[in-house]
């Protein structure tokens, strides 16, 4: 089910707003991809896909974080700079479950930070953290610094 919380992250102003999932949208646009598509369509009409105000969202599926086999999925959605239409990509692993267990259905990002940052999703909060120490590291090195 839904945790009923979406974190809206403004990277330009370093602000985070927590919003409830719109119940009608949740019923009409089921799952991470469906709800993600709705978020993109509501917020992206006429915007340049590469502009800072472009919305990029990471979402869970309805069954993510449960014991249902093959349900450990997460989806990222945005408008494609190549085609200008909705695009999505999916991944497995623990990221989706961790986000759901932190009580979030989605993290929606827009804006542009003037310095390297990462988002920490933990214990019902999302925070914008400095990532200067991660810049220039390999993925493996960054992983070990973060975990």
* 73-110 pLDDT tens trace: 999 999 988 988 889 999 988 899 999 999 999 999 99
pLDDT above 70: residue 115: yes
Q: Name the class of domain 6-115.
A: alpha beta
Task: Give the mean pLDDT of 39-60.
Answer: 86
User: Tell me, what's the pLDDT at 139?
Assistant: 94
Within 10 Å of residue 68's Cβ, how many Cβ atoms?
11
Q: Which pLDDT score is estimated for 53?
A: 86
C-alpha of 114 from chain center: 20
Count CA within 13 A, CB hemisphere, residue 124: 2
Is the predicted pLDDT of residue 1 greater than 80, yes or no? no
The Cα–Cα gap between 84 and 76 comes to 16
The model carries a pTM of 0.90
Where along the chain do its domains lie?
A: 6-115
The predicted-structure confidence for 16-31, as pLDDT tens digits, reads as follows 999 999 889 888 998 8
pLDDT at 84: 84
Is the pLDDT at 142 greater than 90? The verdict is: yes
Average pLDDT in the chain: 92
Kindly indicate the confidence band of residue 147, based on its pLDDT and cuts at 50, 70 and 90: confident
CA 16 vs CA 6, 13, 107, 135: distances in Å: 10, 9, 10, 23
């Amino acid at each position: 089910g839904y945790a009923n919380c979406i974190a809206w992250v403004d990277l330009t102003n370093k602000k985070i707003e927590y919003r409830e999932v719109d119940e009608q949208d949740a019923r009409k646009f089921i799952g991470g991809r469906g709800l993600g598509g709705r978020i993109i369509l509501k917020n992206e009409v006429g915007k340049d896909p590469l502009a800072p105000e472009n919305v990029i969202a990471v979402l869970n599926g309805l069954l993510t974080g449960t014991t249902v086999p093959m349900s450990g999925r997460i989806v990222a959605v945005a408008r494609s700079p190549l085609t200008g239409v909705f695009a999505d990509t999916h991944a497995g692993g623990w990221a989706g479950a961790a986000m759901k267990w932190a009580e979030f259905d989605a993290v929606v990002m827009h804006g542009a930070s003037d310095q390297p940052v990462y988002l920490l999703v933990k214990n019902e909060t999302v925070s914008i953290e400095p990532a200067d120490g991660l810049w220039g590291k390999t993925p493996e090195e960054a992983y070990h610094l973060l975990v």
